[in-house]
Amino acid sequence: MTPQQVLDIKLSPNQGLLAVMNDTGDTKTIWDRNNADEVEAARAQFDFFKKKGYMAYKIVVEGTKGEIISKFDPSAERIIFAPPMGGGM
């Protein structure tokens, strides 16, 4: 996706997006809040990466700071997962 395409991602009012950073850039999952199966699938993915020590950030508005969350929030519009970080050289 081009930067503009990512910027232009228009989720419907019922949708949320979860992006997990990895060596391909990131893997995105979109869920429909009105679809219980999709919500559970997104929740399972959230719990999986939280157990691995990833940090979850709920983004409220683009460009503003994210809020660290420890539990899956199906009402979130965007959630970004980053791997755990440590002090480098």
CB of 37 to other proteins, least distance (A): 26
State the DSSP code for 19. E
Rounded to a whole number of angstroms, the CA Rg of the chain reads 13
Q: Which is nearer to other proteins, 22 or 35 (CB)?
A: 22
Using CB under 8 A, list all residues that contact other proteins.
1-3, 5-7, 9, 19, 21-26, 55, 57, 59, 62-68, 80, 82-89
Q: What angle do CA 16, 5, 58 make, to 5 degrees?
A: 30
- Please state the closest distance from residue 38 (CB atom) to other proteins, in A: 21
